[in-house]
């Protein structure tokens, strides 16, 4: 069943239009890769879906309900769990406080997050500010999971991390797909890892969806045309 249906959306930053015609769909349990070169509109798409930017045209339906009129906190309550670009943990709180502050009842609790990221569990009482970049990313994912989302949105979750840490994050995402059957929207630059995990992909260029298909159908030609440097 379709969980998220984004149809022909537009969005502006002030007077400047960033999205012109973006469409994408995510079914329950599906992993979708949102791809495109730098500045093409991936983060703006994510922000618009999460109601952090107004939808100027088109529709965003989540579980059949129109999100366009809801404030961001209500969209979050409906089950959108965003891990924003740049992580944004509360650095004045401990790891445990960060997780508890986000908690809503459901499958995900402190124990399950600890099982997913054992490294984080060892640091529950430490300030989030004392964590490494990779641990802060794990905490940001943990926070989003604590809201018990129906759709997890990861915007550049592996950016700026050491290769070994990136692999830990990818392994956690694979676990979420395999064991929790969570629907996931992934924005990332690592094509190889995306190919391994995503069921389908959407490519945006200058604020428009230009390609959308099964990940397995992403050819070298398409990659060169829309993703190459």
Query: Which residues here bind ligand ATP, judged by CB under 6 A?
Result: 13, 16, 18, 36, 38-44
In the complex, least distance from residue 171 CB atom to ligand ATP, rounded to whole angstroms: 23
Which CB atom, from 13 or from 216, has the smaller least distance to ligand ATP?
Answer: 13
Retrieve residue 103's tokens: 């908690």
Which CB atom, from 95 or from 188, has the smaller least distance to ligand ATP?
Answer: 188
- Sorted by sequence, the CB contacts under 8 Å of residue 72 that are 6+ apart come out as 50, 51, 52
- Sorted by sequence, the CB contacts under 8 Å of residue 105 that are 6+ apart come out as 148
Retrieve residue 86's tokens: 């740049």
Which CB atom, from 131 or from 204, has the smaller least distance to ligand ATP?
Answer: 204
Give, rounded to a whole angstrom, the gap between the first and last alpha carbons of the chain.
Answer: 36
Which CB atom, from 42 or from 177, has the smaller least distance to ligand ATP?
Answer: 42
Which CB atom, from 52 or from 103, has the smaller least distance to ligand ATP?
Answer: 52
Residue 69 is classified by DSSP as T
In the complex, least distance from residue 43 CB atom to ligand ATP, rounded to whole angstroms: 3
Retrieve residue 117's tokens: 């990221």
Residues 112, 80: Cα–Cα separation, whole Å = 19
Nearest to residue 211, comparing CAs of 46, 36, 37? 36
In the complex, least distance from residue 130 CB atom to ligand ATP, rounded to whole angstroms: 27
Distance of alpha carbon 154 from the chain centroid: 2
In the complex, least distance from residue 161 CB atom to ligand ATP, rounded to whole angstroms: 16
In the complex, least distance from residue 69 CB atom to ligand ATP, rounded to whole angstroms: 22
Nearest to residue 5, comparing CAs of 174, 178, 207, 202? 202
Which CB atom, from 28 or from 85, has the smaller least distance to ligand ATP?
Answer: 85
In the complex, least distance from residue 52 CB atom to ligand ATP, rounded to whole angstroms: 11
* Torsion angle of C-alpha atoms 183, 51, 66, 182, degrees rounded to 10: 10
């Amino acid at each position: 069943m379709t969980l998220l249906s984004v149809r022909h959306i537009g969005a502006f930053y002030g007077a400047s239009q960033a999205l012109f015609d973006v469409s994408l769909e995510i079914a329950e349990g599906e992993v979708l890769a949102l791809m495109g070169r730098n500045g093409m509109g991936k983060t703006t798409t994510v922000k618009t879906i999460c109601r952090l930017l107004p939808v100027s045209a088109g529709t965003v339906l989540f579980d059949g309900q129109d999100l366009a009129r809801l404030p961001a906190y209500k969209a979050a309550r409906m089950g959108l769990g965003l891990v924003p670009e740049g992580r944004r943990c509360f650095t004045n709180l401990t790891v445990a406080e960060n997780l508890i502050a986000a908690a809503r009842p459901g499958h995900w609790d402190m124990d399950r997050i600890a099982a997913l990221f054992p490294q984080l569990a060892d640091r529950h009482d430490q300030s989030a500010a004392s964590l490494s970049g990779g641990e802060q990313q794990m905490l940001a994912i943990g926070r989003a999971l604590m809201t018990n989302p129906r759709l997890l949105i990861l915007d550049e979750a592996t950016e700026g991390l050491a290769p070994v840490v990136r692999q830990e994050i990818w392994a956690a995402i694979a676990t979420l797909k395999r064991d929790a059957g969570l629907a996931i929207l992934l924005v990332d630059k690592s094509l190889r890892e995306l190919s391994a995990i995503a069921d389908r992909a959407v490519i945006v260029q200058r604020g428009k969806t230009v390609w959308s298909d099964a990940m397995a159908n992403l050819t070298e030609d398409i990659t060169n045309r829309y993703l190459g440097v």
